[in-house]
A and B are shown apart, each in its own frame.
Chain A
Amino acid sequence: DIQMSQSPSSLSASVGERVTITCRASQSITRDLNWYQQKPGKAPKLLIYGPSILQSGVPSRFSGTASGTDFTLTISSLQPEDFATYYCQQTYDMPWTFGQGTKVDLK
Chain B
Amino acid sequence: EVQLAESGGGLVKPGGSLRLSCVGSRFTFSNAWMSWVRQAPGKGLEWVGLIKSNSDGGTADYAAPVQGRFTISRDDSKNILFLQMKSLRTEDTAVYFCATAALFCDGGGCYWRYFDTWGQGTPVTVSS
| Physical interaction between A and B | yes
Interface residues of A (CB under 8 A from B): 1, 31-32, 34, 36, 38, 43-46, 49-50, 53, 55, 85, 87, 89, 91, 94-101
Q: How large is the interface on B (under 10, 10 to 19, 20 to 34, 35 or more residues)?
A: 20 to 34
| Contacting residues, chain B, for A85 (C-beta < 8 A) | 44
Q: Which of B46, B64, B101 contacts A1 (CB 8 A)?
A: B64
Which residues of chain A have C-beta atoms less than 8 A from B94's C-beta? none
For the A-B complex with A43-B118, A49-B112, A99-B44 known, give 16 more contacts whose Cβ atoms are closer than 8 Å.
A1-B64, A34-B112, A34-B114, A36-B45, A44-B118, A45-B118, A46-B114, A89-B115, A91-B112, A94-B50, A95-B61, A95-B64, A96-B113, A98-B44, A98-B46, A100-B44
| Count: A-B pairs, CB below 8 Å | 65
Listed in ascending order, the chain B residues whose CB lies under 8 Å from chain A are 35, 37, 44-47, 50, 61-64, 97, 101, 104, 111-116, 118-121
